Amino acid sequence: MGKYIYKNNEVSLQEDLSTPVTVTLKKGEGRTVKAGGMWIFDNEIESVMGSFENGDIVKIHDFDGYFMGYGFINANSKIRIRMLSRRKDQLVTPAFIEERVRNAWDYRKAVIDTSSCRVIFGEADWLPGIVVDKFEDVLVVESLALGIDLLKPIILEALKAVLAEDGIAIRGIYERSDAKVRLQEGMERYKGFIGESFDTKVEIIENGVHYMVDVQDGQKTGFFLDQKNNRAAMQKLCKGKKVLDCFTHTGSFALNAGFAGASSVLGVDASQLGVNQAEENARLNGLEDVVKFQCADVFELLPQLEEKGEQFDVVILDPPAFTKSRQATKNAVKGYREINLRGMKLVKDGGFLATCSCSHFMDPELFAKTIREAARGAHKRLRQVEFHTQAPDHPILWAADESYYLKFYVFQVCEEK
C-alpha cells in the first residue's frame, strides 16, 4: 500500500506521520502509561514544545527527558494523548499501521471463528479509539478519537489488503461513528457508507444460529459479537427447558436456547425494533413456534411474572450498561441488584440463572457483591457453574482497564437448604 496520510481532506505522501512536537510529563505522573496503559490525561502534562493541530502524532518524554513513545494529541479531550508506539525507532508510518492490522487479524485467526468477529478492538490492538467488526464480507467501523479518525483510511485499506491475502473480498464498509463520546473529542457524530453503497442487511451464522444483522440501524455496529462464546455456553443448559431471556435485543440468547432444543422460550426487550428483528431471526431459523418475543420493560415485567406464579428452568439477564461513568455506579448497582433478585425468584429450584454486566465501571468485585446481595434478598443459594468475560476477539489488555468490561456468570439457583 502507498504511504499516505489523510488530513484536511487532502492526501499526501509521507513516510513518518508524526510531527516534531514534544510533550513532557510532570514529575510523578504517567503511572498508568508506564505500567502499559494507553492514555495520558490533560493533568499529567507539564509542557508541549512546538505547535500542533489536534490529531497530530507527537513524541512523549518523561519529566527527565526519557523517551516514552509516540501518540496522537487532542486538546479538546481530557484524554490528551493516546499512545501508538513505545519504541523510539518504531516511527508511526503506514507500514507500521499495516503491521498493527496484520497482527490483529493473525490473532483472531488463532483464537476464534472469524466468519464474523471483531477484527480491531481499539487499545487492546494498540490502535486506540477505533473498532472494526467483520460481518461475513462487510466491515463496520466505529471511530471515537480524532487522531485515529485521521488514520482511519490507512487502517481500512490495510485491513482490506490483509483480508484479501486470505481470499476474503470485502464488498462494503459502513461507518457507525455516531456515539456521543465523539463530541468530547470535538468531532461530529457520523454514520454512512465508506465507498460504494450496499445492502446493509447482512446474514451471519454464529454457533449454528442464523441472524440478519442491520449494520445501518442496529445498536452499536449492528450485533453484539462479544457474547459469542457465552451464548454457546448456554446451549448445553437449555435442551427441553422453559427459558426466559431478558433484554433480548435481537434475540441472540433466546435463539441459542431454541436452537439447543428448549421446550419454550420467551425473549423480552423494551425496543419494538429489537423485537421485530428478533422475530425475523426466529423465522430465519424456523424457531418461531418455540421462541416467542414480547416488547416490555423488564423491570416492570419480572414482578408481574412473579405475581402470576411463573417459573422458568433458565433465566438469562443480559442488560445494557446501566452506567457509563463512575459517578452513576451507585444507581447502577440498584438496577443490577433489582433485576437479579427478580430473576432469581423466577428460577425453579435447581434451575439456572445467567447474568452479566457489560459496564466497565461495574468492576468484577462490585458485580459479584451485587449478585450476592440479590441472592440474600431473594433467599436463594447460588452455585457457580461458569464465569466468562467477553469473547477473545475482544481481548482484555492488561494495564488497559477500559478493555475489560463484560462479566458473565452462570449459577444454579437453589432454595435455602
Residues 213/219, Cβ–Cβ less than 8 Å:
no
Helices 228-238 and 252-259: angle between axes, nearest 10 degrees: 40
Grid coordinates representing 61 are: 518524554
How many whole angstroms from its chain centre is CA 136? 18
Q: Check 238, 246, 356, 358 and give the catalytic one.
A: 358
For residue 252, list its beta bridge partners.
none
Q: In angstroms, rounded to a whole number, what is the distance separating the alpha carbons of residues 202 and 213?
A: 5
Q: In angstroms, rounded to a whole number, what is the distance separating the alpha carbons of residues 323 and 334?
A: 11
Half-sphere exposure for 397 (CA within 13 Å, toward CB): 21
358 among known catalytic residues: yes
What amino acid positions are annotated as catalytic residues? 358
